[in-house]
Every structure is written in C-alpha cells, then in structure tokens.
Structure 1
Amino acid sequence: MITEIEFEKLISKNESSILDFKGEFYDFKKESNDLVTAKFVKDVISFCNTIRTETSYIIFGIQEIDNGGLEFKGMKEKVDDAILQDKIKDKVIPRPNFSFYTIKHKEKQFGILEFPIIRYEMPIVPAIKNLKGLEVGKVYYRNGTSNTEATAYDVIRINDWLKSLPEIREQNSLNDEVSKFIKELTKNEQKLSVIISDLFSLSKKYELEELRKFCLVEIQGIKSSNSEGAEYRIQKVFISWNKIEINPYAYLKPSISSLIKEIENNKEFFESKIVMHHPIIEIESSLDQLNSDPNSYGTMKTDAKELLDMEKAHDLYIYTFPDNINSLYRNIRQKAIDILMKI
C-alpha cells in the first residue's frame, strides 16, 4: 500500500507499461456477457506478466485528456478487494498476486490496483473460455500503454524473467503461519482473545490491512456508531433504559425460556438487532459467566449516544442470554477464518 507522497510521485509520471490511469472503475453492475470481467482479467494478467523492476499500478479516478494532462475525477464506488479476488480466482492460472485499496488525495478518493513483482511458476494465462479478447493458455503482457498478446519469443523472455526472480520465502512463511492459525481457530481449544492478539502481530508483520482492522475491532471494541463491516457482530437482544435486577438467589430460578417470555411482556424492555460493540475480552467474560449457569443472563452497559447515535449519552442496558453470546463468539471465530482464507 502506497503513501500519499508516493501517490503524488506516481501521478506526476506518464502512463507506461507499469502505470495506467483510468477515469472510471470497472462497471461490473452493468456487465453484459462478462465483457467487463474480461477487461479486468486481461488487465490483471497483463500487468502481472510484464517484465519490470518495480511494482506496477492501475489508478482509478484519473482521466487522461486530449492535451496530455490529467483530470482528477475521483472515484465514488466502494469496492472490496475480496470481490476482485473472487472474480479472478477461477479464471486464470496460476493465481495472481495483487491488491486493491483506496487513497484520499485533495478531498477525493482514488482506487489503486497494485501488482508486486512475484515469481510465478509460469506466466499467468486465462483458464476458461468465453472471455472476450482472451484465449485459454495465451500469454498477455503490457507493451507500452496497451495490453498485448505475447509472441513465442515474448513468452520465452517472460519465462526467463520469472525464473530469474528470487523465491518468495516470506510468502511461503506467511502461508505456513496462516495455515497454523486456521487450524487453531477450527480446533476451538484456545481463547479467541489469545489468537486475535497473535493475529494482530501477524497483520503488522506482513502489512495485512484487513486483518489488522479486524483485530483492532476485536481487541478495542467498536468505538463509533459507524459499524460498517461489522455485520457479523449483529445479535437480536433486549434493551432497557433501566437496569433491572432479577434476584439470582431466588429459591426457584426461572428458566431462560420463561425469563425471555417475561421480558417480552415487560414494557420497560424492547427487542432490537444491534451490533455488539464490546471487545473480545468482555465478550469472553460474559461467556464464562453465562456458561457457568445455563439459566443466567448477562447485562452489558452502554449508552444511547454510542448505540443509537443519539445526541446525549443516556445509559442503556443490553440483556443477553447464552445463545446470544455463543452465537456472537462463533461469528467472530468464523470471520477470522474467512479473512485468513483470503490471504
């Protein structure tokens, strides 16, 4: 991921075999017969196969105009790197290494496709039919500012270049570490707070931005009313403005089902689907408490400003039951696995 200073240096350069400016992003929503996907796939193949000595880029939101200047339009679309990875994963071999992210410059957002230099076992080629402008098994690369089909001699040179690149031991090491963490997560033997702490170190070591953000949310909790991307933390709970105590020492303790029924009929409670903002340590503490007594419930204190985006921070109490916290904990574990599977 480049810095804003590096971005400014890039946009001062002319388009070339390792730099391309596009005014608009790929419009997959208006796609017909996979034409847009084919264009995207061809760009990725061509940039990855181009013989070079540095990382190459496609920058979206910048339009080259007739006089040779640039129009900085910016990019309005919100695009997830995972969508692009999914669009190409079964269409080419070997699988290319690239990333997509956005950067803000002069109050506008720009998209960046970044292609690092990677040693593949062979040039990347299309693996399926029916992609317009692409043939299965053909090699494409950047020749100047255009994507070009490689001749036999070109293929030999690209192969030789790939073989000359050093082996990426760090990437192999990353794959090993990711596999280790996936095994730990699926075994379900170690607390998530411990695994997530280690995953945070991994994210910093290899500059894995999506994993880093996920770990920060789980370690710190969600600090703002903007919970975009945290849908996996949504739970259906009961909320009340008042803290209501149910006597835990009563001779006959109510069952969970009877307690829920009583709460449903109590006007001081209302039911809502909310994003649970609490850090993983607090969730595990609630989980331990609830699992020690199957007929218990949990109370988490929050406020209306944080939870409902209201102006004043009136106290609110969230009432949870074992199913809520167990479901939330499972969702966090699965989210961690999902992110690791994309690396």
Structure 2
Amino acid sequence: MKKHFWLKAAMVAATLTASSAAMAADYTIKLGWVTPDSEVDPYAIGANAFKRLVEERSDGRIEVETYPNRQLGDERQLLEGLRFGTVDAAVVVNAVVSQFEPAFQINDLPFLYGTAEEAYAVLDGRPGEILAEKLRDRGVVVLGYMEGGYRSMVNNVNPVAKPEDVSSVKYRVMQNPVYIDMFSMLGGNAIPMEWGETFMAVQQGTIDGLEMPVALVDAAKFYEVADYLSLTNHTYSVANLLMSERSLSGLPEDLQQIVLEAADEAVTEQRVRQQEVEAETVERLEEKGMEVNQVPDVAPFREAVAPIYEKYRDDIGAELMDEVFAIIESR
C-alpha cells in the first residue's frame, strides 16, 4: 500500500512538472526601476502596465519579471546594463539618460513645457524620434516616453514661492549638469546624490531637501522626513521606457512587434493614470501633514534660469532645440 502511495505521488509530481514546463514562457524580459512598486508611483504604473500588456498579447510566450526598488541597480547601472545587454528593460529618468546622450537634455531644461500636452507633442513627434535614433546608436531602444510628472521642490527650511526662497537651501539633485546649474542660478546649494542615499540624507539633515515629482513624494514616503512641498513645476519629468537592443532583437519578429505595440499602449495608459494620481496626491500629502503651496508667478524663476538655454544649445543641438521651440510655440 505504501509503495502504491509513493508511486502515485511520484506520478502526480511528474505530471505537475511537465504541466509547468508546458506553461513556462518561451522568453523572459527582466524589467527594473529604482522606485517602489506602488500603485501611485509613476514608474511602477507604467512598468506594470507594460508587463500585463506584453504577457496578454503574447499569450504567455513572454514573461515580464519586474524588479523595483533598485534590485537591478541604480539608474546609471540600469542604463549601462541596457547598453551592454546585461539588463533587458528599464524605466530610467531623463536626467540620467541625458548623461549618456546629451540631446536628451532638451527635456531637462527648466520651465520648458508649460503643459503636459506640449511635452506629448514633442515626445510623440519628430523630436522624440530623433532622440530615439540617437539612443539606438548606443544600443538602447526607446519603447516610449512615460510621464514622471512635473518636478517640485521639497525641503525642511521654508516654502518656495519666489527664487529667493531657494537661496542657500541644500537640495539633492540628480548627477546632471542642467539640474546643478538650475539650482545654482536660483541661489541654492545643489548636491548631486544617488537616489538610494537621498531619503536617509534628508532624514539625518545632511541635506535640506530635494526636487521630485509629486506622486513620488508620496510613493517614497518623503512626507515622513520633509515639511514643505512647493509646486514649482520647474521640470517636466520624462520617464523613459527603455529596452536593450540586444534583448529586443533576440526575440522573434512577431514578438518584437508585440513588445513595441504593448509599450505604446502602456505609455498611453500610464500618462492618463499619472495625471489622475498627481491630482489625488497633493490632497493626500496635505492630510499626511505636509505644507503644500502653489507658486503664484513662475516668471521670476524663468528669468533667473534663462542662461541655461543658451549654455546647452550646442550640446543638445541647435536644430533640435529650434524644432522643439517651434512645436511648443504653435500650441
């Protein structure tokens, strides 16, 4: 009797193993990003939409494994991995991408996009194609330009309503010259720092604050360590959905097309949801104890940082800048 029991158990186990093997995906895409896997995090919203759509449209032939919270490394490491094919896909903020391809600095220019619709017109138009072509030359495919949301200032010193309020405040900025110059021109102390070190630095008072999209203030729980959120909306944050060219070309052509189409749909879905989340988040952060203020007039800020545009014109490319300005002015 005992022998028959173990024989049946072995047969069941073998059947389950065979069934699992039959159901296993033919291909796996490992997708990383540095922020939390949260329902309100803009990176996570897009990454999870991409995962769902790719798996559905490929009928399970592709599995997208997600790795939030820097599990595959910081953004510079993710981008390096994409270039060399050791990372399949990632969501990477524009400010990091622009360190590898200077033309992407167009999106880092402060107060460039007055509305999200202006940004969409640029990114979904010829300028976005030009940027994608430049990055593909470096072995990285732009699957889409997701929305990180407008970046605002968070600190523990004072609300920001005019440029003078930035003076002498120590702000963490990404390791990007445009961001460093912007805060320097506003009189602040710009301190380049990796994302993974920032929360503790604010908590311990090593820095006074940082600048970031509103939704990420909530998702990363900066309301626990910072008092003031000022809606400066100084930079429209592009969250680039990227894939290693090596990983994409390693898929059969039909699956490559599915990935590209799923990415397009994921970007559209993410932008809509990000807009909703941003509107909801301000009220939620106030309920959690943050003091939130609008900036009554951004003109003095624009005037203070105006020299940045000319300084980076050659790095970005005069023709690209002029094309972007023309699109914005036509809207």
Structure 1-normalised TM-score? 0.23
More helix by share: 2
- Structure of higher RCO (CA pairs closer than 8 Å, 6+ residues apart): 2
Structure 2-normalised TM-score? 0.23
Which protein has the larger Cα radius of gyration, Structure 1 or Structure 2?
Answer: 1
